[in-house]
Amino acid sequence: MCKDASCSHASLPQIKMIAGHPEKQTDAGRAPSETDGVMLCPQCDLMVTLPDVAEGDKAVCPRCYTTLSTRWVEPCLQPVCYAVSALVMMVFANLFPFINMRVSGIYNQIRLIEIPQAMMNDDYSSLAYLFLIFVQLIPAFCMVAIILLCLNVPLPYRLKVIMGRVIYLAKAWCMVEIFLVGVLVSFVKLMAYGNIGIGLSFVPYCLFCLLQVRAFQCTDRYLFWQNIRPAPALTKTPKPGVSGKDQGLRLCPCCTAILPADLKECPRCHTVGYVRKPNSLQWTIALLVTSIMLYIPANILPIMVTEVLGNPMASNIMSGVILLWEDGSYPVSLVIFIASIMVPTLKILAILWLCYDASGKGAIKGRQDRERMHVIYEIVEFVGRWSMIDVFVIGVLSALVRMGRLMSIYPDIGALLFAVVVILTMIAAMMFDPRLLWDRKQTITNKEPDSAE
């Protein structure tokens, strides 16, 4: 079904079709296909021919199974509808009380916007900014940009390019759904102390979360950039089944245009790019070493201080997990353990393994080995940001639990360090060039000297 297309020019790669809604097939819709119907896979650098994908179906790379193109029903209108609804829900989510808590007759309720305010009052402005940026500003900006660009509103070209680039860069940093899980975890943590209730804003926030995820999902990056400006014309014919590097072509990481390998700046989106990210492994390892150094104090130092009846009690990540386990909240204890301890540790180890493999030092065990490493890379990319759950939990707890002498919760230095560790490992994963994993296979096949890095 999916041959290694890089081995033979005669057998062009067969795009694997994933059936969605075949009954909805129509001829209406999309602009002419990707640059002459070909596309460079962003993950493995294979040049593939794109078939005419039916509405609701998607085309995946025959080598690494990355989704290359999805043909949505109403590809312009759908993201706009989701983005508009998400923005409306976001406004509602900020207007009314979000959650409330009652402990021994004392009642406290907070609005979404009061969560960063509480952190600022405790001299943890940096945590407050992280919350504002990841949960409010980036998602709101991206929704507005999706609406303007998908509707093709007449705006200056430079402004459109900036918006398109910000959407591409900021997507990984939208943490709305992670914050929602953080809120749910906080609920369970607080149940032992008092009655927790949801406010009028809670349901709109959940809807905002779902709608913005969906808006991102159905935004077709290719069509989106075609709306801004058609892809620059190619001087040579792309050869499907061969990697871009081997035919002197590269992919623009931002707007998916196929460009000559020696062209540093994309003429369409002005993103500077390379055939392979320069010093990718060195950057990744440097960021990882920094995050390991911060990860140790982040686990030892307290992440929050709980003050009950005037007695302050500092707790770090592990003691929080143990406390929850002893209280009998096994699922939450497990969630925190997995998100805050297991995932960052495994992620650091996995990225180190990827770097070792991509550097050409690992043993080559054939095609499956490349695919396995690629799956590891995809998992690392996906799970990285979920480690922010614990940071958001502390944010919610310290904003909601302000009952004076009775019970108060404050963030502590460990939370900030932990947030920095998560951000650094996310950047480390972004700096890693997954195409290096596939390069080594090719150099073996073509019996050329190793040129991975």
* Opening angle at CA 95, ends 91 and 100, nearest 5: 125
Min separation Cβ 253 and Zn ion, Å: 8
| Residue of the chain from 83, 223, 257, 339 that contacts Zn ion (CB under 5 A) | 257
Q: Three-state SS for 70?
A: strand
- Residue 161 touches Zn ion, criterion: CB under 5 A: no
CB of 438 to Zn ion, least distance (A): 8
> What is the smallest separation between the CB atom of 64 and Zn ion, expressed in angstroms?
3
**In terms of CB distance, is 243 or 340 closer to Zn ion?**
243
Which position among 255, 393, 421, 422 is part of the footprint of Zn ion (CB under 5 A)?
A: 255
Nearer residue to Zn ion within complex by CB, 269 or 285:
269
**Residue 38 near Zn ion by CB under 5 A:** no
Among 76, 269, 389, 422, binds Zn ion (CB under 5 A): 269
* Residues 44-63 contacting Zn ion, CB under 5 A: 44, 46, 61, 63
- Nearer CB in complex with Zn ion: 76/254: 254
Which CB atom, from 370 or from 385, has the smaller least distance to Zn ion?
370
CA–CA distance, 323 with 389 (Å, rounded to integer): 17
Q: Are 410 and 398 in contact (CB under 8 A)?
A: yes
Size of the site for Zn ion (CB under 5 A): 15
CA–CA dist 448, 189 (Å, integer) = 58
Q: Which stretch binds Zn ion (CB under 5 A): 71-79, 80-88, 246-254, 290-298?
A: 246-254
- Say how far apart CA 442 and CA 426 lie, in whole Å: 28
Q: What is each CA distance from 120 to 182, 265, 411, 415, in whole angstroms?
A: 19, 40, 11, 14
CB-wise, 163 or 176, nearer to Zn ion?
163
The single residue among 39, 41, 332, 394 that binds Zn ion, judged by CB under 5 A, is 41
| Cβ atoms 133, 176 nearer than 8 A | no
Q: Which is nearer to Zn ion, 132 or 252 (CB)?
A: 252
Q: Which is nearer to Zn ion, 213 or 430 (CB)?
A: 430
Q: Which stretch binds Zn ion (CB under 5 A): 13-21, 89-97, 248-256, 300-308?
A: 248-256
Q: How far is the CB of 43 from Zn ion (least distance, A)?
A: 5
Using the rule CB under 5 A, give the single segment among 70-78, 269-277, 319-327, 369-377 that binds Zn ion: 269-277
The answer to the question of residue 266 lying near Zn ion (CB under 5 A) is yes
- The Cβ-side half-sphere exposure at 59, using a 13 Å CA radius, reads 22
Taking the least distance from each CB to Zn ion, the nearer of 48 and 135 is 48
Q: Dihedral sign, CA of 76, 79, 82, 88?
A: negative
- Of 314, 318, 324, 319, nearest to 340 by C-alpha is 318
Q: How far is CA 143 from CA 72, 73, 189, in A?
A: 18, 19, 32
Q: Which is nearer to Zn ion, 41 or 324 (CB)?
A: 41
Separation between Cα atoms, residue 25 and residue 367, nearest integer Å: 35
Q: How far is the CB of 434 from Zn ion (least distance, A)?
A: 9
Q: Does 373 bind Zn ion (CB under 5 A)?
A: no
- The least CB distance from residue 65 to Zn ion, in Å, is 7
Beta-strand runs (E) in 139-198:
195-198
List the x/- string, 61-80, binding to Zn ion by CB under 5 A. Answer: x-xx-x--------------
Collapse the DSSP code of 254 into the 3-class scheme (helix H, G, I; strand E, B; otherwise coil) and give the result. Answer: coil
Q: How far is CA 407 from CA 101, 107, 332, in A?
A: 12, 12, 21
Tokens of 365: 């065990």
Residue 63's nearest CA partner among 248, 220, 234, 240 is: 240
d(CA 380, CA 437): 14
Which one among 110, 188, 252, 420 touches Zn ion, defined by CB under 5 A? 252
Q: Output the CA–CA distances (angstroms, integers) from residue 251 to 272, 410, 420, in the order listed.
A: 11, 47, 31
Question: Smaller CB distance to Zn ion: residue 66 or 117?
Answer: 66
Beta bridge partners of 409: 306
Binding residues (CB under 5 A) for Zn ion: these are: 41, 43-44, 46, 61, 63-64, 66, 252, 254-255, 257, 266, 268-269
